[in-house]
Structure formats: structure tokens, C-alpha cells
């Protein structure tokens, strides 16, 4: 399990590093029409007839997201003020989520409904692992099978959420690229750069989903007895 964890950490780090290098590259490439990320976002929303979503700036780097609760497209300062390919790509991608929300995109709805369950599952999983690391403690009142089943349930919720996230993110990127092209916001070489940047962003979610599936399979095999009788330390 430790080997798997380290392997996915390395892969995740490699993909994140590649993503950062891509965004750095395209952040240095000005958008030919001179539009800022804020302007790109506002135009995409207007073109889709979405009038109740606000575009605001949020602190930090890579903090860009769409919040369906208060209906805001939150862009980091570099994206909000940026007038480059990366800023346009990210702004359009986040607006892609707003379009999904406005059109009741089923995968986004499913993901939103799962957020409370996944949050609780993550907390439970952390509790079980910490309890195991410090000598089981309260877990002594449960059988090992019960503990592993709880781990499987929590990991299953996280895995389902990770898998559902994939079509949500890929669809938002596709909507962004199609709109950037049809709206004439980006030239052909700029579209290629935007697509390249968003492709690497999507791969971070792909790695997370594959890791979640692998961990779930590991716990299921453990429960089915395909390994020696495990201790909680082996689960960790």
C-alpha cells in the first residue's frame, strides 16, 4: 500500500509540475484581442444568456472555481487580470461549469449532491487511519472485517466522486474550447495553447480517479481474503 501511495504521489507531482509549466508558458503568450480573463468570462456568460452569475476575483494561485451556491465565477488575480492564453482558457473553463449548471448538466448535479457524503467519508477515513496509527484505541470495539468494510464504504464514495468529476471537468474544457473558437476570442494557435493547458489540467483529475480506484480495489481484495489476515497497519 505504501508503494502504491508513493507511486501515485510521484505521478501526481509530475502531472502537477507539467501543468504549472504549461500555464507558465501560455501565461507569457498574450491574447491577440487583448481581453482579460474577467472580460472573457463575462462575454462567455453573456453569449450563453446567463445573467445571474457574477465574475469576481479570489485570492491565491490556481484557486479558480465556479460556486453554484452563490452563482459566482471565482478567478485568481492572475486569471482575472491576465490578458494571455492561460487566463482566457481558465476563465472559459470555469464559465463552462456555469453553463453546465444553467443547463442542468446531469454529471454536475450528481457531483454536487455527493459533496456532503464525500466530505463525511473523508473525515471518517482520516479518523480510522489515525486511530490505527495510534494503536487502534476506540477501534478495538469493532472486528477487523467491520473496520475494513467501513474503509471500503468511505473509499467507494470518494472513488465514485472522483470518477464523476472526470466528465464534469472534460465537458467544461470542451465547452470552453468550442466557445473560444466560435466566438472568435482566440486565434487557431491560441486555441491550440488553450487546449494544451486545459488538457493537462484535466489529467490531474484523471490521476486522482485512477488512484482512488486502485485504493478501493486494494481494500476490497483485502476484505475478500486474497491477502494474509491484515492488521490495521497494513491498511495504512
Question: C-alpha cell of 220?
Answer: 476490497
- Cα 230 to the chain's mean position, in Å? 32
CB-based contacts of 39: which residues, under 8 Å, 6+ apart?
none
- 11-59 tens-digit pLDDT: 888 888 888 899 899 999 999 999 999 999 999 999 999 999 999 999 9
Beta bridge partners of 73: 55, 66
What is the value of pTM for the model shown?
A: 0.86
**pLDDT cut 90: percent of the chain above it:** 69
Is-catalytic flag, 94? yes
Task: Identify the CA nearest to 77 among candidates 54, 60, 65.
Answer: 60
- 117-148 tens-digit pLDDT: 999 999 988 887 776 655 555 556 667 778 88
Please pick, among 94, 169, 190, 192, the residue that the annotation labels catalytic.
94
Task: Identify the CA nearest to 202 among candidates 93, 112, 85.
Answer: 93
Amino acid at each position: 500500500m505504501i508503494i502504491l501511495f508513493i507511486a501515485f504521489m510521484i505521478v501526481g507531482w509530475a502531472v502537477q509540475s507539467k501543468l504549472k509549466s504549461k500555464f507558465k508558458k501560455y501565461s507569457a503568450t498574450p491574447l491577440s484581442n487583448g481581453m482579460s480573463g474577467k472580460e472573457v468570462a463575462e462575454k462567455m456568460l453573456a453569449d450563453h444568456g446567463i445573467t445571474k452569475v457574477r465574475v469576481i476575483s479570489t485570492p491565491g494561485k490556481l484557486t479558480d472555481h465556479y460556486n453554484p451556491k452563490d452563482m459566482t465565477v471565482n478567478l485568481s488575480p492572475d486569471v482575472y487580470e491576465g490578458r494571455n492564453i492561460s487566463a482566457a482558457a481558465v476563465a472559459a473553463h470555469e464559465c463552462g461549469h456555469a453553463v453546465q449548471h444553467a443547463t442542468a448538466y446531469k454529471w454536475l448535479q450528481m457531483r454536487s449532491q455527493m459533496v456532503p457524503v464525500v466530505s463525511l467519508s473523508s473525515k471518517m477515513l482520516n479518523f480510522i487511519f489515525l486511530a490505527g496509527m495510534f494503536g487502534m484505541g476506540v477501534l478495538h470495539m469493532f472486528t477487523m472485517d467491520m473496520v475494513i468494510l467501513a474503509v471500503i464504504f468511505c473509499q467507494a464514495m470518494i472513488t465514485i466522486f472522483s470518477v464523476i468529476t472526470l466528465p464534469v471537468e472534460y465537458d467544461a474544457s470542451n465547452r470552453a474550447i468550442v466557445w473560444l473558437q466560435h466566438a472568435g476570442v482566440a486565434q487557431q494557435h491560441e486555441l491550440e495553447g488553450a487546449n494544451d493547458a486545459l488538457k493537462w489540467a484535466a489529467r490531474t483529475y484523471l490521476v486522482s480517479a485512477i488512484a482512488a480506484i486502485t485504493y478501493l480495489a486494494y481494500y476490497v481484495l483485502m476484505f475478500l481474503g486474497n491477502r494474509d489476515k491484515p492488521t490495521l497497519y497494513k491498511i495504512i
